[in-house]
Structure 1
């Protein structure tokens, strides 16, 4: 018999789907149904998805679950949703407004130049914030619900964060600051 998928990984996938359901639902309420107040309530519920994931990971660790890839991914996912969700929602909002409410067409990001450099550095700054949040969440899980073995396994994922950070820095802000134009 095949092994069941990791419940934490399934929870991450469900949270990602839930995020987009809330975003599209909020935008549909705002622009299609012309109900701006209920749309704001839906958008205000988006952070609850992060709480669900944090609780799921915490419960799994507290029940003695083995730390797998998904346990190390969850804090990174949470950091990214906290740091990037506002921008993702704004990105989708402009497109919904254009499509359903005669809003202006989405503006294309410059391929190079000062505007692109600012964008790349701002995105990298968001990534650094996401890393900080991921480290804090990992630490919180490590001191609250994880046993010493789980804590060590959770922290072992920090190397991946460092690798991603270096690659992002080189292929994003550094590339657009010095490698283009």
Structure 2
């Protein structure tokens, strides 16, 4: 199962790189877009393999939960990652503008962190929903009990991200003051 998840993660980045390479390197925009549309297929393959493994009699362990988590985070963060990679590829391969990173200071940074928290919350909720669906589909609580540890784990992940977002709101990072030029 771990091998499948690693292959899925590698597959995600390979398909993304190939799609962006076609789009910007070879100027084949439609072919590149077609490859990028295939990115969710990687998630479906991992999810289907997880369900098939468990329905085939496997006893759930942490790897099955990891597969659900991978899919949840891929769905929640996938568009953000593709847009980030697209901006960098356009800059490096097609003389596009240099992509701007996330804001570094003040309210803008806090707002960015809250958007990241929202993505993490969606990812955690999807993970929990997928685990519950897998447990329901398998229908054998004894074989899927190993997935129960993922419920508090996803709450912890969301809680940590909540704390990070709240800290940027309560203690906003201030832009450094310009130091006067001291010339002799």
TM above 0.5: yes
Identify which of 3, 7, 11 aligns with 2:4: 11
Identify which of 122, 134, 153 aligns with 2:115: 122
Corresponding residue for residue 45 of structure 1? 38
Distance 2:53 2:40 in 1: 20
Identify which of 145, 156, 169 aligns with 1:163: 156
Q: Tell me, which stretches of 5 or more residues in structure 2 are unaligned?
A: 174-184
Deviations along 1:104-159, one digit per CA (max 9) or x if unpaired, are 01113222212111110011001111111111111111111251113322122211
Q: Contact 1:61 / 1:146 at 8 angstroms: preserved in 2? A: no
Corresponding residue for residue 47 of structure 2? 54
Between Structure 1 and Structure 2, how many residues are aligned?
A: 173
Q: Contact 1:22 / 1:42 at 8 angstroms: preserved in 2? A: yes
Corresponding residue for residue 168 of structure 2? 176
Distance 1:107 1:11 in 2: 34
Q: Contact 2:15 / 2:36 at 8 angstroms: preserved in 1? A: yes
Give TM-score scaled by structure 1 length. Answer: 0.91
Give TM-score scaled by structure 2 length. Answer: 0.90
